[in-house]
Amino acid sequence: MKKILLHSLLYLFVILLIPYSYFVWQAKKSVDAFLILHPINGDFEYQWLWIDLEGKISLEDISFYQETNEPVFTAEKIEIQLPSPFDILNTEDHITHREYPTNIIVNLVKGQTTQTAKLAALFGVNYQPEILEYFYPAQCVDVIDKELPFINFELSALFDIHRTADDSLVNFSFKSKEFINLTGKFIINNFSKVEDNATFLSDLTLEFSDLLWMQQNTQKCLQALNQEDLKFDQLFSQFINRSAKQNGLMLADNVADSFVNFIFVPQKIRLDFDLQEGKTFSQLSLLPVHEYLEKTGLSIQLNDKTLASIFQAFDYISSAKEKTEKKNDAAASEKTPETKKDIYLSLNSRALTPYLNAKIKIRLYNGQTIIGYLERANNRSIKISQLKYKGKTVLPFAFKDIKSILLLRSGR
């Protein structure tokens, strides 16, 4: 009797294993199809893939690499929850034709990184340590931590997909006890489009809380300014107003005070964007500072206090004078070419977009040098056009193969 029962259980296990293996195979094909059809600037690796009884796909032992052998981040696992286990059977077709299920939940569990700035760049945030010099007085710049810390993190995102409107509402959260907590939402428009730059974001809301790294920097700054007769609030206020004035800007009333109060006790930041029709986030870096709020519909809250406006006026005269001085400096530098400094461009699409059609020289890691005109830039590569053989030739180059990009002035 026992033998019959064992054999029955064994047969039942084999019978169940066949459909389960088929589901796993379909899930792996879907993941591979997604990585092929939606390429990212790097190498994504996982060691194991399995599915639970609710149809949740789990990828385990995650690593993501860019250019070097040190991973940008690792994670224990990534979980992908579809509305139904049977959605797995059609996921490859969903991905190929961008006809996804109505909602998808993605969770990254126990992530780690020693390259936080590169991790931020994956989400379109180009962090430069020099930016902190705009927020802290000179006395503090040498004592604060300008490099982003090593962090552990969790990431989750819910995609609510509307096929009729061809968009997806995304609610997400990023949690790191060593750094920051971030929650937010945005809409991906033209969600099913596959053409370059067809999709764009709108209705972006970001809320930062538990700003531990910023709080630690504030404490280091206060310790560096530890003088009995020094009023910290006055120093910060004077610094903020002076920084604005140097850029031809006049701050609105109470902006400096609100910012100072926030710097002393950084608890929460909330940003709401409502872009003007026809504008996209990729164009924001091209906007003049004094037009930023109007064109982006930006609303700012610092520690739950809303800033009704930031800039009271823009000093066009000083700005024009500064532009004239820069033009004169440029003219003078042209007369003395030996003093001109080479301008090297960053290897990312956002930094390169303003230089489309500019003449550049790229140097590859294999030692080869190419001169041409910047035709296009995306997250993984650039295209350079050259006029040769009595026609126009367009050559693609992956960022991972490029050592440097030099902006060429006329005559070089």
pLDDT value for 61: 93
Work out the pLDDT band at 151, boundaries 50, 70, 90: very high
Q: What's the start-to-end Cα distance of the chain, in Å?
A: 90
- Distances in Å between the Cα of 94 and the Cα atoms of 54, 108, 193, 257, 317 are 19, 22, 13, 52, 56
Report the candidate in 388, 390, 391, 394 with the shortest Cα–Cα distance to residue 374: 394
Residue 100's pLDDT is 78
Distance CA 312, CA 22 (A): 64
Query: Which residues lie below 8 Å from residue 162, measured CB to CB, with a gap of 6+?
Result: 168, 169
Domains detected in the chain: 341-407 (2.30.30.100)
Strands 181-189 and 249-251, by their bridges, are unpaired
Give 320's pLDDT tier (boundaries 50, 70, 90).
very low
In the numeric block, which tokens belong to residue 290? 């004094």
d(CA 119, CA 121): 5
Q: Are 169 and 185 in contact (CB under 8 A)?
A: yes
∠ at Cα 218 (213, 220), nearest 5°? 95
Pick from 252, 245, 239: which is nearest to 319 by CA?
245
Predicted confidence (pLDDT) at residue 23 exceeds the cutoff of 90? no
Distances (CA, A) of 98 to 34, 164, 172, 260, 329: 10, 13, 21, 47, 52
pLDDT in tens, 41-65: 778 888 888 887 777 888 899 999 9
* CA separation for the pair 313, 334 (Å, rounded): 34
Q: What is the pLDDT of residues 91-120, one digit of tens each?
A: 666 666 667 788 889 999 999 999 999 998
Helix (H) or strand (E) holding 245: helix 232-246
What CA–CA distance (Å, rounded) separates 254 from 310?
A: 9
Q: Could you tell me if 364 and 348 are in contact, meaning their C-beta atoms sit under 8 angstroms apart?
A: no
190-208 tens-digit pLDDT? 877 755 566 777 788 999 9
Cβ proximity of 26 and 89 under 8 Å: yes
The b/e string for 178-204 (b: 16+ C-beta within 10 A; e otherwise) is ebbbbbbbbbbbebeeeeeeebbbbeb
How far apart, in whole angstroms, are the C-alpha atoms of residue 50 and residue 57?
A: 6
Q: Quick one: pLDDT at residue 121?
A: 86
Q: Which range in 52-61, 74-83, 276-285, 391-400 is most confidently predicted, on average pLDDT? A: 74-83
What amino acid occupies position 121? A
Beta pairing partners, 73 = 64
Q: Which two tokens stand for residue 79?
A: 């979980």
Provide the β-strand partners of residue 60: 48, 77
Q: Do residues 45 and 62 touch, judged by C-beta distance below 8 A?
A: yes
Residue 124 has pLDDT above 70, yes or no: yes
pLDDT band at 78 (very low <50, low <70, confident <90, very high): very high
Biggest CA-to-CA distance, the chain: 100
Q: Which residues pair with 250 in a beta bridge?
A: 313
- Predicted TM-score of the model (pTM): 0.65
**pLDDT (0 to 100) of residue 221:** 83
Q: From CA 10, how far away is CA 271, in angstroms rounded?
A: 58
- With a cut of 50, say whether residue 284 has pLDDT above it: yes
User: Which amino acid, one-letter code, is at 276?
Assistant: Q
Q: pLDDT digits over 359-379, tens only?
A: 899 888 877 888 888 888 887
For residue 256, how many C-alpha atoms fall within 13 Å in the half-sphere facing its CB? 21
Buried b (16+ CB within 10 A) or exposed e, 285-318: eeeeebeebeebebebbbeeeebeebbeebbeee
Give the per-residue pLDDT at 172.
95
Region class of 160: left (phi > 0), else alpha (psi between -120 and 50), else beta: beta
